[in-house]
Amino acid sequence: MAEKYYTVTWDQLHRDAKALAWRLLDRGPWSGIVAITRGGLIPAAVVARELDCRLIETVSIVTYDEEAKGAPRVVKTPAAAGDGSGWLVVDDLVDTGTTARVVRALLPKAHFATVYAKPAGKPLVETFITEVSQDTWILFPWDTEPQFIAPIARSAVK
């Protein structure tokens, strides 16, 4: 199966993160937000602003080296979040669920929300905005620069 790329702009990410906040509004109030670094930092900031939440923690799990997946490694745990009761965990994407499983083990009672979800990881989150296919690599705005791209029809295999 060929891998596809989906580019997310800053504007789109902001709109999608704000939509996530709308979905989460009635599920609170939240004791705080745990952002999964690095990808969850910006969506968590948008969600925190929209939900008027000032207490932000981070959890750092390293699972990717560029596009290559590796064994998950916990770099930092969220000290104030305890078992996650009343806390909201925010990430940009749930892909295979590797990171989500590690975070769920650390914060089993937290509510897990992502902006984007792939089929393999979707069962691990309670709330998300957009589902993308498993073979799609999302290019987030912090990983890209604007440049010309040929039309899809020119690059399609015929």
Q: Where residue 77 sits, what CATH number does that domain have?
A: 3.40.50.2020
Instruction: Give the annotated binding-site residues for xanthine.
Output: 95, 138
Task: Please identify every residue annotated as catalytic.
Answer: 91-92, 95
Instruction: Give the annotated binding-site residues for GMP.
Output: 95-99, 137-138
- Over its length of 158 residues, how does the chain's per-residue pLDDT go in tens digits? 447 889 999 999 999 999 999 999 999 899 999 999 999 999 999 999 999 999 999 999 887 665 556 678 888 888 888 889 999 999 999 999 999 999 999 999 999 999 999 999 999 999 999 999 999 999 999 988 887 878 888 776 65
* The total number of structural domains that make up the chain: 1
Cβ pair 63, 35 in contact under 8 A: no
DSSP secondary structure code for residue 156 in this structure: S
Question: From the DSSP assignment, how many helices (H) and strands (E) are in the chain?
Answer: 4, 8
Instruction: Give the annotated binding-site residues.
Output: 38-39, 91-99, 137-138
Domain that holds residue 76: 4-155
Rounded to a whole number of angstroms, the distance between the first and last alpha carbons of the chain is 15
**Residues 50, 52: Cα–Cα separation, whole Å:** 5
**What are phi and psi for residue 82, nearest 5 degrees?**
55, -125
